[in-house]
């Protein structure tokens, strides 16, 4: 699914006029890069669009639009909503977030996930009196392309403003893999090109491994993966030797790669209303 889109346009929009004609609740305020921003909300007070206008710097596009396409059931509905206030054909995509939800714990993903050609990583944790300090998510890579992988149940609980620190809730049962791409990493820059992701998946450099159980070296590698995660384990071992030559033979790929790609494709087929 597409979790977020940011688009720019050379089309100049009059936000005061749009505020009068858009059929949803609106609110006007500024933003960090634009002097004015119009927030278009639905009846549940969810943000449908943020329309930015009047840029601070002269080299910026006169209009920027931020949105979450999954608020609509189909691409045609999404495009029709855009067409109410702008020309969709003039929009250029500058950021896209690809997302997949899978039923696996965030701890397991942390242990088995590796992103090829990414060396930067970080993770974040939360404290709960029931579970102690536990992992809630981690980042792999840096701008303009970052993988953000997190506990979806925990994130949902925060959104609903529940006191999750002392509750187990449904935390840990569902994880989200989110690929955030900006600037030149955005492969398809126009709305009519987004359907190409059906056959050209962006999840090409993500790998999932577990250690084989037939050697002491593999057992030691699995312990390192459990403690530090596969990405960090690879980075640590690569400092001292060639990881692919000396350690990759002790790993075996899991079926998560196909699970992620199939789930992403299935969501896109529903969104674009394309049969298999």
Q: Model confidence over 136-182: pLDDT tens digits?
A: 888 988 889 999 999 887 776 665 544 444 444 455 578 999 999 99
Mean pLDDT of the chain: 84
Q: How many CB atoms lie within 10 A of CB 261?
A: 16
pLDDT for res 128 = 56
Percentage of the chain lying above the pLDDT 70 cut: 82
pLDDT for res 152 = 86
pLDDT for res 61 = 95
Report residue 196 as tokens: 């190409």
Within 8 A by CB and 6+ apart from 105, the residues are: 151, 172, 173, 175
pLDDT for res 168 = 46
The three-state secondary structure class of 122 is strand
Closest Cα partner for 183 from 216, 142, 211, 153?
142
pLDDT for res 246 = 57
DSSP state of 169: T
pLDDT-derived band at 231, boundaries 50, 70, 90: confident
Closest Cα partner for 115 from 10, 219, 206, 237?
206
pLDDT for res 170 = 53
Q: How far is CA 110 from CA 62, 136, 147, 180, 232, in A?
A: 41, 10, 12, 18, 10
Question: pLDDT tens digit string along 34-44?
Answer: 988 888 988 88
Q: What is the mean pLDDT of residues 202-207?
A: 93
pLDDT-derived band at 239, boundaries 50, 70, 90: low
Closest Cα partner for 160 from 44, 5, 31?
44
């Amino acid at each position: 699914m597409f979790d977020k889109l940011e688009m720019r346009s050379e089309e100049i929009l009059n936000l005061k006029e749009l505020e009068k004609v858009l059929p949803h609740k609106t609110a006007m305020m500024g933003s960090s890069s634009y002097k004015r921003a119009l927030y278009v909300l639905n009846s549940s007070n969810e943000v449908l669009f943020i329309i930015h206008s009047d840029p601070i710097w002269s080299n910026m596009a006169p209009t920027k639009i931020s949105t979450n396409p999954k608020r609509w059931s189909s691409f045609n509905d999404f495009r029709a909503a855009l067409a109410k206030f702008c020309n969709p054909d003039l929009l250029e995509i500058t950021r896209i977030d690809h997302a997949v939800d899978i039923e696996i714990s965030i701890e397991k993903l942390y242990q088995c996930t590796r992103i090829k050609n990414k060396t930067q990583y970080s993770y974040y944790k939360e404290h709960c009196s029931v579970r102690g300090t536990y992992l809630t998510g981690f980042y792999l890579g840096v701008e303009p392309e970052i993988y953000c992988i997190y506990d979806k149940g925990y994130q949902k609980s925060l959104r609903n403003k529940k006191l999750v620190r002392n509750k187990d809730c449904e935390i840990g049962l569902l994880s989200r893999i989110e690929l955030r791409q900006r600037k030149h990493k955005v492969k398809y820059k126009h709305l009519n090109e987004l359907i190409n992701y059906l056959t050209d998946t962006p999840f090409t450099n993500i790998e999932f491994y577990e250690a084989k159980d037939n050697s002491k070296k593999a057992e030691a590698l699995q312990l390192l993966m459990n403690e530090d995660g596969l990405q960090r384990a690879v980075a640590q071992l690569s400092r001292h030797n060639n990881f692919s030559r000396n350690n990759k033979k002790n790993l075996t790929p899991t079926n998560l790669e196909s699970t992620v790609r199939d789930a992403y494709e299935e969501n896109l087929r529903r969104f674009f209303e394309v049969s298999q």
